[in-house]
């Protein structure tokens, strides 16, 4: 199978699992917000910031292994890849346990000053730190070996099997039930992967092997840390200066952002090991040009469909299910527009990490995060509230994208090609934003909320359809999907088993 077809197959499989999972998660998330209310939703959203930063405790070695394992496999150095797998697992596990003990110690020392939900939330987060590190490393291994079949099954299992206990325990015990169900779901996920994959991790903690991973991974870790601060700065500023209730309203925009970013994140997951394997053949950045350009074009054409759905159906969601979250609609729409640039940034980030030119982004993003936080503070103090914070974040996302685009594109394309690609991106952005504004404020709509949202999205999607024909003309994406679909049907008719497993076998390194 050609590289392009393999990528499209993996994207198709992973996309199906991602959006099936998203459909379940959206329903669950909405019900959770209704059961928890704005205040408890704000408490959990704030506690989750700890988990965002906790992923950096392994000093970037997991991120380094995600790059090095497929790179070494591309060169045929299987034994070296196995050593990296075992070393990184134990290093990450030990660090997670140490941090977990620290969080529990803090909660116990300051228990008298903490409310009960915050105290038990910290205990939950402490346990999740360990469970999350193990689960995430398992997922990294599945992705590194391009075993997207099992990775997709894990996503669906996590959402489908976890829905019932999450709903039941939250309904019965409110936020404490939510804490317990979250721990249960992570435990189930780990067991599910191990039953299917049978990973083994012989004790290996060699400083000789760990040192180069830390040297490379540390820069990725620092980049990830400043990136986490940048992306979560609104979740820090808003509860600090506006309280948990306002943070609860704003969590509607965060929920939408998480949904929107799942699509480019999914593409990122599929592309990353392909980038490493391709680059390992000659170590030439220009070999990645087609990956970068085609993925950018595909995202630019496809993503507005999701963004428009989020923008238009938010009103229906609030009107029918979450009326108490109505103050969050306007910030949601503003932030969703800015997320377009974050979502187009993934492949440029992959490129810089692949060719090890990512370090320069660390001070740039740190400065951008500080400016964004300060501007949000000014927006709140001057009475612009949640919409003001959302505007600041959206503008910051645009600047963030432009910096990444400029630094990455010069390694794989000429100035003329970069300018043409950027012009196309901005043209798409201006077109779909203008279209959304016209649909919202100019085109008459029925009074029924359901009919209004359906009619508006139908108009929006129809106006974007020419992009789909142009996308197929440039990449033959739909044609390849059709060919693979027909091939699979023919195999089934002949009694053959479709080729779903990755070339390295079902277990990767064990």
Cβ neighbours around 451 below 10 Å, total? 11
Q: Decide if 335 contacts 256 (C-beta within 8 A).
A: yes
Q: Decide if 412 contacts 403 (C-beta within 8 A).
A: no
Q: Give the pLDDT confidence score for residue 398 in this predicted structure.
A: 95
User: In this model, does residue 128 exceed pLDDT 80?
Assistant: yes
Cα 71 to Cα 273: distance, rounded to the nearest angstrom: 8
Q: Give the pLDDT confidence score for residue 486 in this predicted structure.
A: 57
Higher pLDDT, 459 or 474: 459
Cβ neighbours around 470 below 10 Å, total? 12
Cα 422 to Cα 472: distance, rounded to the nearest angstrom: 20
Q: Give the pLDDT confidence score for residue 123 in this predicted structure.
A: 92
Which residues have C-beta within 8 Å of that of residue 374, sequence separation ≥ 6?
none
Q: Give the pLDDT confidence score for residue 381 in this predicted structure.
A: 92
Torsion of Cα atoms, 121 then 327 then 374 then 347, to 10°: 80
Q: Decide if 158 contacts 185 (C-beta within 8 A).
A: yes
Q: Give the pLDDT confidence score for residue 9 in this predicted structure.
A: 67
User: In this model, does residue 489 exceed pLDDT 70?
Assistant: no
Coil vs helix vs strand at 482: helix
User: Is residue 161 packed enough to be buried (19+ CB in 10 Å), middle (13-18) or exposed (0-12)?
Assistant: middle
Handedness of CA 30, 336, 148, 206 (dihedral sign): negative
What percent of the chain has a predicted confidence (pLDDT) above 90?
21
User: Any idea where the domains of the chain sit in the sequence?
Assistant: 3-488
Which residues have C-beta within 8 Å of that of residue 153, sequence separation ≥ 6?
17, 196
Handedness of CA 6, 9, 15, 20 (dihedral sign): negative
Which residues have C-beta within 8 Å of that of residue 48, sequence separation ≥ 6?
none
Q: Which long-range contacts (CB under 8 A, 24 or more apart) does 315-323 make?
A: 315/449, 315/452, 315/453, 316/449, 316/450, 316/453, 317/30, 318/252, 319/449, 320/449, 321/30, 321/34, 322/30, 322/33, 322/34, 322/252
Q: Give the pLDDT confidence score for residue 56 in this predicted structure.
A: 74
Q: Decide if 57 contacts 265 (C-beta within 8 A).
A: no
Higher pLDDT, 395 or 297: 395
Q: Cα separations (Å) of 293 from 273, 275, 296?
A: 17, 13, 5
Kindly state the average pLDDT of the residues 372-384: 93
Q: Give the pLDDT confidence score for residue 494 in this predicted structure.
A: 60
Per-residue pLDDT tens digits for 303-347: 899 899 888 888 888 878 778 888 888 899 999 899 999 888 888
Tokens coding 375: 């501007």
User: Is residue 330 packed enough to be buried (19+ CB in 10 Å), middle (13-18) or exposed (0-12)?
Assistant: middle
Q: Give the pLDDT confidence score for residue 476 in this predicted structure.
A: 61
- Among 269, 9, 288, 268, CA closest to 144: 269
Kindly state the average pLDDT of the residues 18-23: 72
> What is the secondary structure of 168-217 as a DSSP string?
HHHHHHHHHHHHHHHHHHHHHHHHHHHHHH---------HHHHHHHHHHH
> pTM for the whole thing?
0.71
Number of alpha carbons in the 13 Å side-chain half-sphere of residue 40: 18
Lowest mean pLDDT among 241-245, 343-347, 368-372, 503-507: 503-507
User: In this model, does residue 483 exceed pLDDT 90?
Assistant: no
- Phi, psi torsion values for 381, nearest 5 degrees: -65, -30
Q: Label residue 498 by pLDDT band (50, 70, 90).
A: very low
Tokens coding 308: 């428009």
Higher pLDDT, 160 or 186: 186
Kindly state the average pLDDT of the residues 41-65: 80
Q: Give the pLDDT confidence score for residue 491 in this predicted structure.
A: 58
Cα 274 to Cα 67: distance, rounded to the nearest angstrom: 10
> What is the secondary structure of 251-274 as a DSSP string?
HHHHHHHHHHHHHHHHHHHHHHHH
- Phi, psi torsion values for 445, nearest 5 degrees: -140, 155
Q: Give the pLDDT confidence score for residue 373 in this predicted structure.
A: 93
> What is the secondary structure of 221-242 as a DSSP string?
HHHHHHHHHHHHHHHHHHHHHH
Cα 305 to Cα 296: distance, rounded to the nearest angstrom: 15
Cα 483 to Cα 253: distance, rounded to the nearest angstrom: 39
Higher pLDDT, 219 or 507: 219
Average pLDDT of the chain is: 82
Tokens coding 7: 């990528």
Structural element, H or E, at residue 378? helix 361-381
Kindly state the average pLDDT of the residues 158-169: 82
End-to-end CA distance of the chain: 25
Kindly state the average pLDDT of the residues 81-95: 87
| DSSP structural state of residue 326 | G
Number of alpha carbons in the 13 Å side-chain half-sphere of residue 217: 24
Q: Label residue 497 by pLDDT band (50, 70, 90).
A: very low
Size of the chain, expressed as the number of residues it contains: 510
User: In this model, does residue 509 exceed pLDDT 50?
Assistant: no
Most confident segment among 56-65, 215-224, 322-331, 396-405: 396-405
User: In this model, does residue 194 exceed pLDDT 80?
Assistant: yes
Cβ neighbours around 494 below 10 Å, total? 7
Per-residue pLDDT tens digits for 251-302: 888 888 877 887 777 777 777 777 777 777 777 888 788 878 888 888 888 8
Tokens coding 77: 């150095």
């Amino acid at each position: 199978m050609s590289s392009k077809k393999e990528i499209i197959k993996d994207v198709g499989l992973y996309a199906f699992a991602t959006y099936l999972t998203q459909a379940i998660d959206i329903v669950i998330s909405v019900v959770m917000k209704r059961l928890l209310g704005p205040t408890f939703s704000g408490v959990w959203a704030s506690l989750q910031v700890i988990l965002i930063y906790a992923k950096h405790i392994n000093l970037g070695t997991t991120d380094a292994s995600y790059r090095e394992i497929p790179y070494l496999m591309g060169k045929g150095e299987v034994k070296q890849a196995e050593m990296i797998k075992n070393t990184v697992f134990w290093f990450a596990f030990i660090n997670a346990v140490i941090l977990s003990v620290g969080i529990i110690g803090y909660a116990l020392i300051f228990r008298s000053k903490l409310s009960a939900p915050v105290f038990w939330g910290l205990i939950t987060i402490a346990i999740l730190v360990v469970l999350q590190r193990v689960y995430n490393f398992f997922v990294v291994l599945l992705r590194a070996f391009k075993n997207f079949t099992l990775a997709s099954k894990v996503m669906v299992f996590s959402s489908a099997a976890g829905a019932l206990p999450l709903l039941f325990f939250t309904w019965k015990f409110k936020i404490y039930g939510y804490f317990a169900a979250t721990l249960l779901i992570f435990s189930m996920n780990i067991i599910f992967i191990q039953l299917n994959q049978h990973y083994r991790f012989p004790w290996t903690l060699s400083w000789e092997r760990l040192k180069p991973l830390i040297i490379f991974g540390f820069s990725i870790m620092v980049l990830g840390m400043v990136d986490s601060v940048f992306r979560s700065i609104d979740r820090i500023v808003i509860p600090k200066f506006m309280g948990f209730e306002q943070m609860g309203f704003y969590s509607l925009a965060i929920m939408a952002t998480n949904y929107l970013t799942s699509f480019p994140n999914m593409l990122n997951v599929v592309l990353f090991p392909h980038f490493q394997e391709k680059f390992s053949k000659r170590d030439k950045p220009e070999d990645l040009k087609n990956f970068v350009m085609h993925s950018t074009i595909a995202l630019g054409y496809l993503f507005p469909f999701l963004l428009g759905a989020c923008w238009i159906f938010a009103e229906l969601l609030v009107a029918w299910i979450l009326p108490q979250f109505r103050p969050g609609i306007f910030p949601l729409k503003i932030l969703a527009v800015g997320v377009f640039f974050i979502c187009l940034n993934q492949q440029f980030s992959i490129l810089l990490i692949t060719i090890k030119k990512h370090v320069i982004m660390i001070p740039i993003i740190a400065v951008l995060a500080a400016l964004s936080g300060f501007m949000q503070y000014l927006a709140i103090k001057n009475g612009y509230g949640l919409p003001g914070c959302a505007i600041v974040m959206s503008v910051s996302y645009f600047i963030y994208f432009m910096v990444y685009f400029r630094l990455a594109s010069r390694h794989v394309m000429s100035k003329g090609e970069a300018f043409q690609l950027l012009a196309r991106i901005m043209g798409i952005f201006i077109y779909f934003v203008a279209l959304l504004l016209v649909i919202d404020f100019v085109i008459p709509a029925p009074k029924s909320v359901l009919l209004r949202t359906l009619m508006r999205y139908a108009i929006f999607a129809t106006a974007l359809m020419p992009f789909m024909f142009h996308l197929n003309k440039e990449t033959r994406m739909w044609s390849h999907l059709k060919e693979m679909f027909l091939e699979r049907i023919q195999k089934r008719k002949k009694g053959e088993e479709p080729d779903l497993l990755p070339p390295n076998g079902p277990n990767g390194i064990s």
